[in-house]
A and B are shown apart, each in its own frame.
Chain A
Amino acid sequence: MGGFRVQGYVTISCVEKRNRQLPLLILLLVAFFIFFLSQSGIFAPIRSLFEAMIVPLENIYGFSVLVRKNTFTSRTERLAAEIELLSEKLVDQNELLKENAALKDQFQTTSVHNPLLVPAKVVGVEGFLPGSSSIESMVINKGASEGIKKGQAVIVGKSVIGIIREVSARLARVQLVTSKDSSIPATVSSENQGVLGIVRGTGGGGMVLDNVLLSETLNVGDIVVSKGDLTMQKEGFLPHLILGRVESVNKQFSQLFQTANLKSLVDVSRLSIVFVVLGWE
Chain B
Amino acid sequence: MAHFVFWGILFISVILSVFSSFPFTLLVLLVFFARARRAGIGIGAFLAGIILDVLWINPLGQTSMLFLLLLLLASFYERKFEIATLPFVGAFSLIGSLVYFVAAGYEIGLVELAACVMFSVLLFQIFHPTSGAKNKNFI
Contacts between chains A and B (CB distance < 8 A), count: 123
Residue-wise, chain A 122-163 has the 8 Å CB interface mask toward B (1 for contact) of: 000011110011101101000000000000000000000000
| 15 A-B pairs (CB sep. < 8 Å) | A9-B131, A14-B79, A21-B75, A21-B76, A24-B71, A31-B49, A32-B61, A34-B50, A35-B65, A38-B59, A39-B59, A127-B21, A129-B112, A132-B109, A132-B111
Q: How far is the CA of A34 from the CA of B75 in the complex (A)?
A: 23
Instruction: Report if A133-B107 is in contact (Cβ < 8 Å); known contacts: A10-B84, A24-B71, A25-B72.
Output: yes
Query: What are the 5 closest A-B residue pairs judged by CB atoms, nearest first?
Result: A35-B61, A34-B61, A127-B106, A31-B64, A38-B60
Chain A nearest CB from B70 CB (Å) reads 10
Contact digits for A84-96, partner B, Cβ 8 Å, 1 yes 0 no? 0000000000000
**A20/B46 in contact, CB under 8 A:** no
Within 8 A of B (CB), among A29-82: 30-39, 43, 47, 50-51, 54, 63
The verdict on A171 contacting chain B, using a C-beta distance below 8 Å, is yes
Residue of A nearest to B55 (CB): A54
CB distance from B94 to the nearest CB of A (A): 18
Known contacts A34-B60, A39-B59: does B42 contact A23 (CB below 8 Å)? Answer: yes
Q: Mark A8-26, 1 if CB is under 8 A from B, else 0.
A: 0111101011111111110
Contacts of B39 in A (CB 8 A): 19-20, 22-24
Which residues on A sit within 8 Å (CB–CB) of B3?
A: none
B-side interface residues toward A, CB under 8 Å? 15, 20-21, 37-39, 42-43, 45-46, 49-50, 54-57, 59-62, 64-65, 68-69, 71-72, 75-76, 78-79, 82, 84-85, 104-107, 109, 111-112, 129, 131-132, 135-136
Find out whether the CB atom of B72 lies under 8 angstroms from the CB atom of A24.
Answer: yes
* Complex interface: chain B residues within 8 A of A6 (CB): 82, 84
Residues of A near B65 (CB, < 8 A) are 28, 31-32, 35
Q: Which of B59, B106, B109, B136 has the most CB of A within 10 A?
A: B59
- Beta-carbon contact of A31 and B84 below 8 Å: no
Known: A31-B65, A34-B50, A126-B21. A24 touches B104 (CB 8 A): no
Q: How far is the CA of A132 from the CA of B106 in the complex (A)?
A: 11
* A226 CB–B CB distance under 8 Å: no
Whether, in the assembled complex, A252 has its beta carbon less than 8 Å from a beta carbon of chain B, the answer is no
Residues of A participating in the B interface, judged by any CB pair closer than 8 Å:
6-7, 9-12, 14, 16-25, 27-28, 30-39, 43, 47, 50-51, 54, 63, 126-129, 132-134, 136-137, 139, 166, 168, 171-173, 203-204
Q: How far is the CA of A39 from the CA of B16 in the complex (A)?
A: 27
Contacting residues, chain B, for A11 (C-beta < 8 A): 136
Question: Which residues on B sit within 8 Å (CB–CB) of A203?
Answer: 107
Q: Which among A7, A9, A18, A22 has the greatest number of chain B C-beta atoms within 10 A? A: A9
Q: Is the CB of A9 within 8 A of B129?
A: yes
Known contacts: A17-B78, A50-B54, A136-B105. The answer to whether A10 contacts B37 by CB under 8 A is yes
Cα–Cα, bound, A178→B106 (Å): 14
Min Cβ gap B102→A in Å is 11
Contacts of A18 in B (CB 8 A): 79
The one of A7, A12, A36, A173 in contact with B37, judged by C-beta atoms closer than 8 angstroms, is A12
Which residues of A have CB within 8 Å of B42?
A: 20, 23-24, 27
Distance A281 CA – B72 CA, assembled complex (angstroms): 54
Measured between C-beta atoms, what is the minimum distance from B4 to chain A in Å?
A: 19
Determine the chain A residues whose CB is within 8 A of the CB of B135 once the complex forms: 9-10
Q: Are A30 and B54 in contact (CB under 8 A)?
A: no
Closest residue of A by beta carbon distance from B35: A10
What is the CA–CA distance of A171 and B38 in the complex, to the nearest angstrom? 37
Whether B57 and A171, one on each chain, are in contact in the complex, defined by CB atoms closer than 8 angstroms, is yes
Residues of A within 8 A of B104 (CB): 126-127
